[in-house]
Amino acid sequence: MIKDFFPLKVIFQPGETFAGIAAGRTGWGWPLGLYALSIAGSAFLLSVLPPQYISESFEGAALPQGRGFWFYLLVAMPGGLLFSLFTCALLSALAAFLRTGRLSLRLPLAALGAGVYGLLAAAMHGSAGLRPAGAAAALAAAGFAAWAALRDKERCSAALKAMLALSAISVIADVAGGAAALAGSVKGYAALEYFFSLISLIWLAKAAAAVYDAAMPRAVAAAVLALLCSAAFLFLLYNLRLLPPDIFTVLLLVS
């Protein structure tokens, strides 16, 4: 039946779908398959789109010169999976912290930590003197993520499965973006990218609410902070020169 088709259930019945993932009723096949399909679609678009489509959508970002589909695919497939795993580990820790207690007290504390980490990642840009502190912060973040994932392996695994399932939205975004590009609409492409990014964020919050049994406002806060912290970690690795510019740009565009 069409109504039982997993990609459509992710899009039209997210609450029920994520509840099934949280209960362990969903295997890895569909989430991994959707993830692979979305990465392949994104890699194809990156390999054929004119530069102005990317710069308009991502504030002046420029793709590496002389690279093609296979480069984008081979970078984005494992890199995006690692980024998703890191994000889910942070989501696990943040959801557990924000799930109970007074949100008006806990949220500022979590936001302060994320803000400090983001400022450190930004301060690392072109500053050799801060490199030891940046390296320590990167190691601390990796260690914290590993601890968070291992502390609640079952829920973190379910969160990763749900996050990969969100690739169903990315597949639609790729198709819609391709249609906008064929129509020659740079602004339409950029608008679609922002729209589907917002939808993905809302669906990620729905997934967090189901997996961690959290109220929606708390799940939204955890999802937003997890994504911001993950982006800051990516920038930190780049500013530490642990990520080459070409790889950093591709991960930034597909993650």
User: Could you give the count of Cα atoms lying within 13 Å of 57 in the half-sphere of its Cβ?
Assistant: 27
Is residue 203 within 8 Å of 169, Cβ to Cβ? Answer: yes
DSSP conformation class of 27: -
Q: Is residue 206 part of a domain?
A: yes
- Residue 1: per-residue pLDDT: 54
Is residue 166 within 8 Å of 207, Cβ to Cβ? Answer: yes
- Residue 81: per-residue pLDDT: 95
- Residue 41: per-residue pLDDT: 95
Q: Is 109 exposed, middle or buried (0-12, 13-18, 19+ CB in 10 A)?
A: exposed
Taking each helix axis from N to C terminus, what angle separates 69-98 and 29-48, rounded to the nearest 10 degrees?
Answer: 130
- Residue 2: per-residue pLDDT: 55
Q: Is residue 16 part of a domain?
A: no
Q: Is residue 86 part of a domain?
A: yes
Q: Is residue 8 part of a domain?
A: no
* Continuous segment of H or E residues that includes residue 237: helix 216-239
Specify the amino acid at residue 80.
G
Q: Is residue 7 part of a domain?
A: no
The pLDDT profile of the chain, 255 residues, written as one tens digit per residue, is: 556 799 999 999 999 999 999 999 999 999 999 999 999 999 999 888 887 777 776 766 777 777 889 999 999 999 999 999 999 999 999 999 999 889 889 999 999 989 988 888 888 877 777 788 888 999 999 999 999 999 989 999 999 999 999 999 999 999 999 998 888 888 888 899 899 999 999 999 999 999 999 999 999 999 999 999 999 999 999 999 899 988 998 898 887
Cα–Cα dist 22/158, whole Å? 6
Q: Is residue 18 part of a domain?
A: no
Cα–Cα dist 76/94, whole Å? 26
Is residue 79 within 8 Å of 247, Cβ to Cβ? Answer: yes
Beta strands in 5-124 (DSSP E): none
Q: Burial code of 139-177, b = ≥16 C-beta within 10 A, e = fewer?
A: eebeeebeebbeebeebbbbbbbbbbbbbbbbbbbbebb
- Residue 220: per-residue pLDDT: 96
Q: Is residue 176 part of a domain?
A: yes
How many structural domains compose the chain?
Answer: 1
Q: Is residue 122 part of a domain?
A: yes
Structural domain containing residue 37: 26-254
Residue 60 corresponds to which tokens in the numbers above?
């002046």
Residue 119 corresponds to which tokens in the numbers above?
């400022």
Question: What is the pTM (predicted TM-score) of this model?
Answer: 0.92
